[in-house]
Amino acid sequence: MEYSKPVDVYRELEKTRSRLEMTGIISKFLVTVPEDELSVIILFLMGRVFPQWSEKEPGIGGKMIIKAISSVSGVTESRVEDKIRETGDTGLAAEKLLKRKTQTTLWTEKLTVAKVYENLEKLAGLTGKGSQDRKIGYISELLSFADPEEAKYIIRIILEEMRLGVGEGILMDAIAQAFNVDPKLVENAYYLTSDLGEIARIAKLKGNKGLEGIEIIPGRPVEVMLAQKIDSITEVLEKFGTVAFEIKYDGARIQIHKNGEDVSLFTRRLENVTVQFPEIVKYAKENIKADVAIVEGELVAIKSLKDRHPRPFQDLSKRIKRKYEIPEMVKNIPVEINLFDIIFHEGKSKTNEKFKERRELLKKIIEETEEFRLATQIITGNPEEADKFYRDALALGHEGVMAKNPDAPYQPGSRVGYMYKIKPVMETLDLVIIGATWGEGRRAHWLASFLLAVRNPDTGEFLTIGRMGTGLTDEHFKEMTELLKSEISEEIGKDVKIKPRVVVEVAYEEIQKSPTYESGYALRFPRLVRIRTDKGPEDADTIERVEGMLRG
């Protein structure tokens, strides 16, 4: 397929913000896409090169893009930078400059989707000496083949700045409409595979029967079941009668996939962290008494193997992010895992079984140790007993308790009211950082003011809701700068645009209506609670939640 075909669709999508219209545009297009290119087209529509769970990424910064645009357009790098500042959009700047490009190519054939994907995929595999020049070469080749409008979207995909407003929800609806399949089956398949491209292919070829046949595959992460918030133990007892209470550990949710001698670890945002936690891999091999299983638990950084009180969440974050000097991290920041669920066992999904039955199976196949153990649990309908368990959890330094319906199945990817979290602190918001400003004086080398955003679940867009800059220590500014520097997509003076990847938990005094920010609301005195390395932008709080909190 010629790349001009999806470009026509991008142009149409940019003209509307209506969910129905966007779904219709994409649906009509998907019908025309060859089956072997559906996966790539779905990714491109979301502004991605690789699936969310893939470890691959293009690894291209703004400087490399500027060099490639300069090379192909024949203008200086400083002129490219000026045009980016003028337009506020690297893709648009490239389009304008390439309309007058002086460099030509010997090739005359049309740019294809396959060629775009081939070059972008090569970017992810390049490392070491000379890799930067080779990356610029692959990008320059695409820009040379592309017409100016095509170049705009290629650059936006590389920088993950497509701005089409196409989220998973719209794509799921479009797939269902295009191939006349049940939307619920599309949604369920997505929660089991986290791969809309593959789902579209199966829907096209095999329809509803194919989607019904999609199963959990060990080694591929499953979207986790999510908890809702609730105010009190009394309220949850009224809902369920008898409740399974577990400690809400101050850690990160981990999914462990064991398939023979192969063990993989995934965070709740589907990141593969197997390399970062070799001791958990070892424990899983030794202490999961099953050949094939997928179990879930909470990973906690502890003070020592003798003192199981939790360390600050940021210590665990350091381990999740670190991909080198692993033995040193294992020694300096010990961890334990507290297992609480099993969703797959010896070739069979357990998601439709009751939680109390899944817990019994978990007990049977786990040989507990001090570091690899079952989550502490009581099952009770007694408010006094439940309250004591809750207070004991807080005394241990954890966040509170989880309250679960013992008779509930496991519903991947959903907040369906099967489990609740109870915490004593005021509600916070999980927000995405999408921009920042360089500091002044002694903070001139640090990002010192962070633009926060909530998620629009319909479009996938991030809507600004405030800036956070006060109340942070020098250590905070340093850590945030190190974390965000590689995510900068554009710089305009002291202001920078940041790819929406980093989630932070934010406390605040109140939420006010405000025309200043895109959400229509502003946070008063927002302050950092912690960086949520265990969450991705798709886990950020939504505009609906903000509005619900205001309604009380």
pLDDT values of the chain reduced to their tens digit, one per residue, 552 residues = 999 999 999 999 999 888 899 999 999 999 999 999 999 999 999 888 988 777 777 878 788 999 999 999 999 999 998 898 888 789 999 999 998 764 444 445 689 999 999 999 998 878 778 888 899 999 999 999 999 999 999 999 998 888 788 888 899 999 999 999 999 999 999 999 888 999 999 999 999 999 999 999 898 899 999 898 888 899 999 999 999 999 999 899 999 999 999 999 999 888 889 999 999 999 999 999 999 999 999 999 998 877 778 888 878 988 888 878 899 999 999 999 999 999 999 999 999 999 999 999 999 999 999 999 999 999 999 999 999 999 999 988 888 999 999 999 999 987 788 999 998 766 789 999 999 999 887 777 899 899 999 998 877 789 999 999 876 778 888 888 888 888 888 887 888 999 898 999 998 888 888 888 999 999 988 988 888 888 888 889 999 888 877 765
> 380 near 247, Cβ under 8 Å?
no
The pLDDT of residue 360 is 97
**DSSP annotation string for 277-301:** -HHHHHHHHHHB-SSEEEEEEEEEE
258 is a catalytic site residue: no
First to last CA, the chain: 51
Q: What's the Cα-to-Cα distance from 309 to each of 240, 320, 364, 384, 400, rounded to whole Å?
A: 31, 19, 27, 25, 14
The pLDDT of residue 107 is 47
Catalytic residue among 248, 497, 499, 535: 248
> Model pTM?
0.76
> 3 near 147, Cβ under 8 Å?
no
The pLDDT of residue 162 is 85
Retrieve residue 70's tokens.
């300069």
For 89-195, where are the alpha helices, taking DSSP H only? 90-98, 113-124, 131-145, 148-158, 168-178, 183-193
Q: What's the Cα-to-Cα distance from 530 to each of 85, 106, 393, 431, rounded to whole Å?
A: 32, 53, 20, 11
Q: If phi over 0 gives left and psi between -120 and 50 gives alpha, with beta otherwise, what is residue 291?
A: alpha
> 399 near 249, Cβ under 8 Å?
yes
Domains of the chain: 48-158 (1.10.3260.10), 228-422 (3.30.470.30), 429-551 (2.40.50.140)
Q: If phi over 0 gives left and psi between -120 and 50 gives alpha, with beta otherwise, what is residue 74?
A: left
The pLDDT of residue 101 is 63
What letter does residue 366 receive in the DSSP assignment?
B
* Coil, helix or strand at residue 91: helix
